[in-house]
Amino acid sequence: MKRPCPPWRHATPRCSPVDNGQTRRLINGANPHILGAQRGRYSPPLPDSERQAREPIVAPLTESSLIALPALRLDDARALLKHDAQNSQQDAGESPTDYLQRMIDGLCELSLKDPLTGLGNRRHFHSVLERSIEAVARSGESVLLLLLDIDRFKSINDTHGHLAGDQVLQAIAGCLARCVRPMDTVARYGGEEFAVILPNCRPLFGRAVAERIRQTIESLTIAVAPLQSLQATVSIGGAYAPEWVRSTADLWIERADLQLYRAKADGRNQVCLDLPQELSVSAEEKGLLFGHLVMDEVAAIENISSEAPQDAPGNATYRVNA
């Protein structure tokens, strides 16, 4: 009995498995899906979607795919960088990508810097403050926030003019930068206010730094005209973030601002610090700290804290107060 012809014989075009010439014509011509015809096998054509997915994507390099610097509106960006004494022109041999990256880096730096004093601005200050809060919550690191306000600055502007006021701001900003460590952050908080963030700062060291800043600024002689100079003082308020507590930036600033108000009320040109052993956790911070516990458990923790023996003098202790 004659065996039936295999299905593949009906599916293939009229070519012999050894017909190399026609196989090449089929592969190179209208039927490139015929593969392995020399061995008598037939591969059915793939669907268009699958065939396109398997094909490598090769984007030809054309002029339209390159960065066309003349087509970009970079005049304002160049003017900003030039005003900040940065090179705003493309260097010889510098690729368009490298040039644009340098422009972006320069603009990012400008967005975080106060143009008058060269210190970090309020945006930069809040960014560092949020990172400090995370560090305190994770590791219990001791971080001090100082807020400084120039005493009677409005009188300086009214008496000597706003240009003299700007010179006072610049002189005090330079003094602040010289009084702190490279790891510390100094920023112009707004108007005549400055902020300093001191990481890894124990209480005794923090008070010493604040006093050094106050005394150094008090001793400054600021020339505002060829034959005219003046002096200025600052009031300083500071607060430590509660260790091992995920506080908020607003609460931390509020603590430091309260101490600054105390320094102003007590006669100005003073330092008032909210030391760690004097801190009490606020209701909002208590919610952040114990939000995952039921109220009975919170009450039990508070009772244990209140019944604990007092530490020896000089040791800072945190207690959760109602």
How does pLDDT run across 46-90, given as a tens digit for each residue? 666 666 656 655 555 444 446 677 777 788 888 888 877 777 788
Look at residue 289 and tell me whether its pLDDT is greater than 70: no
How does pLDDT run across 81-137, given as a tens digit for each residue? 887 777 778 888 888 888 888 888 888 888 899 999 999 999 999 999 999 999 888
Catalytic status, residue 192? yes
Mean pLDDT for the chain? 77
Look at residue 229 and tell me whether its pLDDT is greater than 50: yes
* Domains of the chain and any CATH numbers: 7-44 (no CATH), 74-111 (no CATH), 122-278 (3.30.70.270), 280-322 (no CATH)
Which amino acid, one-letter code, is at 275?
Answer: L
Q: What integer pLDDT is reported at residue 296 of this predicted model?
A: 52
- Annotated catalytic residue within 130, 192, 218, 302: 192
Q: What integer pLDDT is reported at residue 219 of this predicted model?
A: 96
Q: What integer pLDDT is reported at residue 48 of this predicted model?
A: 63
Look at residue 221 and tell me whether its pLDDT is greater than 60: yes
Distance between alpha carbon 242 and the CA centroid of its chain, in Å? 22
Look at residue 167 and tell me whether its pLDDT is greater than 90: yes
Which amino acid, one-letter code, is at 106?
Answer: G
Look at residue 305 and tell me whether its pLDDT is greater than 80: no
How does pLDDT run across 252-285, given as a tens digit for each residue? 999 999 999 999 999 999 999 997 644 455 566 5
Look at residue 173 and tell me whether its pLDDT is greater than 80: yes
